[in-house]
Amino acid sequence: MKVLANDGISASGAAAIQASGHELSTTKVAQNQLIDYINEEQIDVILVRSATTVRKDLIDACPSLKGIGRGGVGMDNIDVEYAREKGLKVFNTPAASSDSVAELVMGHMRSLVRFMHDSNRQMPLEGDSKFGALKKSYAKGAELRGRTLGIVGFGRIGQALAKLAIGAGMKVVFSDIHEDNVDVELSFFDGQSAKFTCENVGFDRVLAESDFISVHVPGGDLIGADELSKMKDGVVLLNAARGGVINEEALLDALESGKVAGAGLDVFVNEPTPAVKVLMNGKLSVTPHIGAATLEAQDRIGTELAAHIDAI
């Protein structure tokens, strides 16, 4: 089959696809030229990440397509149900990037409690002239150990984050409409392992009891002004799921009032042009939607996509 990886693919994924005898193109085709390219090249499978969209118009206009693959978890850039109604196979790689996203969230947490996100902005500008003042302004850091992390959405990524947080000495509670209490297993470098039970306390208790709250749901306007008002003063929020799950305007108001001490955002409402007032806020640790962007995750994503193509 002819496969177009329009948003790129790892070297190992490309090798796996080609080793199975498929013809792979990694040409980056502009969205407005994609229909013509697919039809001219008679593409059987299109692979995308977050940049390319596959909507009804493309599906209807490209009869050669047999499959649509998303290198990652969310498929909101694909009209999934419509494609399946038309007989196309639609697949993603939900397990491949869990650890990478979880580690990024932990990175944001550690950065925020020690002001590293702001220090890395200010030290190059004023470190040589205001070293003492900066040292004083960052002197009230905090430790993660002993704090409570509330996770909203306890799927693969939520559970991967729970393992890292437990390893850091945190208490983990969660809210999930699909799960009861969950045993998570930590595996260590020497082959030992240990199980810990995480309790599903429900959404309201996660809001009320958590020092840190991380959201891992596929979308929706989940946390706005009302939900923020129910949280502890000085809470830290994290969103590496979907832009808008935490309402940005409400978050900025809560940061200004001090209700929220800080937030780590990897996703934004207006990607790829997030609001400047969000990007410039000194209480935010921000990254450009890179949750799955590790070499290890991209290798796993590529080989999983190859397996799906073989199945087609």
Distance (Å, whole) CA 239 – CA 274? 14
Q: What tokens were used for 69?
A: 């693959």
Least Cα distance to 104 among 238, 255, 9, 223 occurs for 238
What is the DSSP code (8-state) at residue 178? Answer: S
Burial group, residue 181, by CB count within 10 angstroms (0-12, 13-18, 19+): exposed
Which alpha helices (DSSP H) does 195-247 contain, by range?
Answer: 203-209, 225-229
SS3 call for 77: coil
From the candidates 242, 248, 300, 304, give the one annotated as an active-site residue.
Answer: 242
Examine the residue annotation and report whether 117 is marked as an active-site residue of this protein.
Answer: no
Distance (Å, whole) CA 59 – CA 31? 13
Sign of CA pseudo-dihedral 251, 252, 258, 263: positive
The pair phi, psi for residue 191, each rounded to 5°, is: 95, -10
CB atoms closer than 10 angstroms to residue 156: 17
What residues does 199 pair with on adjacent strands?
173
SS3 call for 26: coil
Distance (Å, whole) CA 2 – CA 41? 8
From the candidates 49, 147, 289, 300, give the one annotated as an active-site residue.
Answer: 289
Omega before residue 94 within 30° of 0, cis: no
Distance (Å, whole) CA 131 – CA 135? 6
From the candidates 23, 85, 199, 271, give the one annotated as an active-site residue.
Answer: 271
What is the DSSP code (8-state) at residue 32? Answer: G
Token pair 């649509």 is found at 68
As annotated, the active-site residues are 242, 271, 289
